[in-house]
Structure 1
Amino acid sequence: MASTASLLTYTDDPVVHEAAPDIAPERRRGRGARTNAAGRFEPYARAAEDDGWDSLADLPPFKTEISYETARKIITRNQSPDISFDRSINPYRGCEHGCVYCFARPSHSYLGLSPGLDFESKLTVKSNAAALLEKELAQPGYEVRTMALGTNTDPYQPIERQYRVTRSVLEVLARSNHPVGIVTKSALVTRDIDILAPMAAKGLARVALSITTLDPKLARDLEPRAPTPAKRLEAVRQLSEAGIPVTVMVAPIIPALNDEEIERVLDAAKAAGAVSAGYVLLRLPYEIKDLFQEWLAEHRPQRLKHVMSLVRSTRGGKDYEAEWGKRMIGDGVYAWTIGRRFELATRRLGLNGERKPLRKDLFAAPTQPGEQLRLFS
């Protein structure tokens, strides 16, 4: 029987990003992506081919693999004019939730991995995140602003149950009275109510939960390892009852797939205790445009052309347009209609009223080892 290695075909030709070969369903069961094409920076294309001995049947399923990173910095800064934060922390690289539309997938290309199945099965833990954060917050001249958690990959994805990196980061922020905003689609965030509730009582914390759809079948297809919509709504209720301000993100809004649910999601969010809401129109940068169309071809083939036609109508005729001010909400008639529907629904429900900014005046920089001794020198 041929080895797995013998099944890999290499070429010195530059990678051409055409339709990638499908991975057998039994090897990707419970995953979002259908393929595992090389990232855009890779000089070689690689594909598994049957050698005539049914060798592909011997390839193992994609299992979650964990590696560890000793990061040199943990706070990522940005100057994007269309997002509300200028600094963030991402405890993990990759995300096991497997959301096929995830805008973070292309970041796996920087690791030499595929934005496809690799993104949701080859994960990296930033094990020194809390220690690094203490050092960075203690730097002279550190200027306090809200720290965002979960801006790239989900800080409460399944491996957080074991590694607890997000919780360790929250503990540092809580000790320092540092404001924090969390974005997640996981009910696991309720585990940390014991940290978040006291912070919220001081005006230091808020949580945004992403609810893409109320349809459990669609949610399972789109986000195979994320909690069900019902569990996310229950998380909204628990957080709200604990005094933690909750925003519900209807994200992404996918034309002709979940756009009809906008009002229903907002109604359910309000009933669960959410105080504000936001939305993001589907974004398909880099490799995601191929991964998403592959997903449509498998799960919603009859809607593929219609969905992509509407997507392109919001992006100047392209699959994606990254222009600031438009990348989150799109442009054109369809995008305008989505915006007005969302605006009317939130106004009707009393969402998105006056929102107080998180406090910055309570911050106390962490004390570094040896710092107290200088008082007696």
Structure 2
Amino acid sequence: MIVLEFKLKGKAEQYRVIDEMIRTAQFVRNKTLRYWIDNSRVKLIDLYKQCAIMAKEFEWAGKLNSMARQASAERAIFAIQRFFANCKAKTPGKKGYPKFKKNTRSVEYKTSGWLLSADKRCLTFKDGFAAGKFKLVGTRDLHFYAPDEIKRIRVVRRADGYYAQLCINVERKEELIPTGKAIGIDVGLNHFYTDSDGETVANPRHLRKSEKALKRLQKRVSRKKKGSGNRKKAINKLGRKHLKVSRQRKDFAIKTALCAVKSSDFVAYEDLQVPNMVKNHKLAKSISDAAWSQFGQWLEYFGNVYGKTVIAVPPQYTSQDCSSCGNTVKKTLSTRTHICNCGATLDRDYNAARNILVKGLKQAGINLNLNTVGHTEINAWGQTDLYSLMAASTSKSTD
């Protein structure tokens, strides 16, 4: 499944209709959740039936396409299922009890209620709201995909306009170009990441760089009269700035993850529990700005697309253990240099990256020690050597 995004270009009246569609989708989702709360031991199929009941009870709800109502109900159903799954798995902390939404910004259509033009440059909504025809602004060519491959269309409202996300049921696979290289990645705040080759990637700190402008825009919002048109304009400008920062962060994560995956056949990275780490209020803003979770998600995605092995390893003791002798060298977070009695002296993150690589290889069934093999020999692996090791480990696991 791939998602292609286009900006919707239409008239102001059409955008107001989309806002009504989004509000209706929010109503259906909240009404479904209310029915589940009020009725004990209700079956999920009964929640789907509520969509048709709502359409008869509320005339304006019936304007929304039937499959769009089902998609809105599914949002509540997924939240309920996730809650029960967390309870069953005894997930520590809050279990995520489903909550009512009040600021929904999207509505989803399935395979009906919309129509693409013959040149596939325009999108028309055909349900009771009759939002009309919108021009699709984007660089992707939809002629490569058949109409029946488009399984969902999600309309999203953002600070800078309205967007259509087309969910296309195709498998993305890129040509595999072996490099014969394996790396371990240690993410951090001083550098965005340090790999087992000693290479570092600078931390862009997008939020920190835009913080002064964001504070200025926030002051403008607070000085405007509530409910006034000027306040709405100021809020929109603030939202656009936040949107730009989030897009910068996402773009950096995508490009960095793609570069790491394309340059290596085996990538091991830290499986950090970011929600727990941001509880440290002194580092929460910097950790959130670094977007480690997003980077890990894109590593996994590109690993699947390019047929590379990407493994998340537990981060315990990767910074404390010596990558040369294996002894534990206790150090605080402020200690940035690893110094061991065996004579090894290297950067803390570099040491952790080497440990992450060894952990990842062991997790994949490849027993390798940087002590005996040597760091330079890992980089000098030929294509055949690396693939023979990975193939041998796969055959042992299947036997």
> Larger C-alpha radius of gyration, 1 or 2?
2
Shared fold (TM-score greater than 0.5)?
A: no
The structure that is helix-richer by fraction is 2
TM-score range for the pair, normalised by the shorter chain length: under 0.3
